[in-house]
Structure 1
Amino acid sequence: MSAEISVNRKALRDYHILERFEAGLELKGTEVKSIRLGLANINNAFARVENGQAYVYDIDIQPYVRASFEQHESKRIRRLLLHKQEIDRLFGQTQIKGHTLVALRLYWKDARVKIEIAVGKGKEAGDKRQDLKAKATKRETDREVARFNKKHA
């Protein structure tokens, strides 16, 4: 059951991804039920390492409508479940100037909600233009190859 819940497409556009990590999330029951309904968004989510723990900010999980008495805040700070060595590695990576931790995707793994975070380095405008050029040339070559294969098949 490795279905994706939410993907942060802007992160791949705005950052060079250097290293990826898989982490669990500390969630409340109403949050899990909201995620099952598809009410989660990670477009602006990022992570920080503070006091030996990793936390993720700005994950928007909408309140669960049918909750009885206990409700969660939609944009609360959530703890990431990582091994101590991974937290130390993330802390070391984020101390380098220009590096940050961004959330890439939220997904199900077995019956658990996982988040993929990455160490990213911000792209400049020139880098983004080069990516667009590379994507356009790849699209054109794929079209030509398909046209050639269709003609000679």
Structure 2
Amino acid sequence: MKVIANNKKAKHDYFLEEKYEAGIELKGNEVKSIKEGKVSIKESHVGEYKGEMYIYNMNVTPYKQSYDKNIDPIRTRKLLLHKKEINKLIGKVSQAGYTIVITKIYLKDGLIKAEVALAKGKKVFDKRETIKRKDADRKIERALKNY
């Protein structure tokens, strides 16, 4: 499994509860571009439309040698999930405070996959608590390393 793009901000802004592996419906030159690593998921989000899940604002830079350069780099792309998973996600998102976030895009057995997580938004004090905990862990690691 080769990670192509990672959304580090997702762990900072959300409590990630459940993770799902999903395929992405792409066009030919988008696949080549993503395999080169020319994809950004920083500002992307997942939404539901007519019982199906879609990725919005995922930026895929057009492939250089492509003959068809008219494809919109931030077009909406369909996520390929099982119906049970989609229904479960839609049910959870309808509750207050839940959202669906893309945490990473990776290559698995020649296929491009997205890791989608059901997430609950963090408050400001939760973010501070996480930062304090990480700092304490770092100090402990340094102290143990010196001995």
> TM-score, normalised on structure 1?
0.93
Within 2, Cα distance between the matches of 1:69 and 1:13? 37
Identify which range, 19-28 or 67-76, moves more after superposition.
67-76
Instruction: Structure 1: state its 5+ residue gaps.
Output: 149-153
Q: SS of the residue aligned with 2:143?
A: helix
Query: Structure 2: how far apart are the matches of 1:81 and 1:11?
Result: 21
Equivalents in 2 of 1:9, 1:36: separation in Å?
20
Aligned counterparts, 1:1-153, within 5 A? 2-69=1-68, 71-148=70-147
Which amino acid in 2 is paired with 1:48? G
Give the structure with higher Rg (CA).
1
Unaligned runs of 5+ in 2: none
The CA deviation string for residues 72-98 of structure 1, in whole angstroms up to 9 with x for no partner, is: 210000000010000000100100111
Q: Among the aligned pairs, what percent are the same residue? A: 38
Matched residue pairs, number? 147
Q: Secondary structure at the match of 1:72?
A: coil
Q: Structure 2 CA distance, aligned partners of 1:87 and 1:30?
A: 27
Deviations 1:31-89 (A, max 9, x none): 00111221101011111122111111111001112111364210000000010000000
Secondary structure of the residue that 1:5 maps to in structure 2?
Answer: strand
Secondary structure in 2 matching 1:73: coil
> SS of the counterpart of 1:55?
strand
Indicate the RMSD between aligned Cα atoms, in angstroms: 1.0
Assess if the C-alpha contact under 8 Å between 1:30 and 1:72 holds in 2: no
CA distance in 2 between partners of 1:17 and 1:89 (Å): 15
Q: Which runs of 4+ in 1 moved over 6 A?
A: none
**1:10-32: per-residue Cα shift (whole Å, max 9, x none)?**
11100011111110000000100
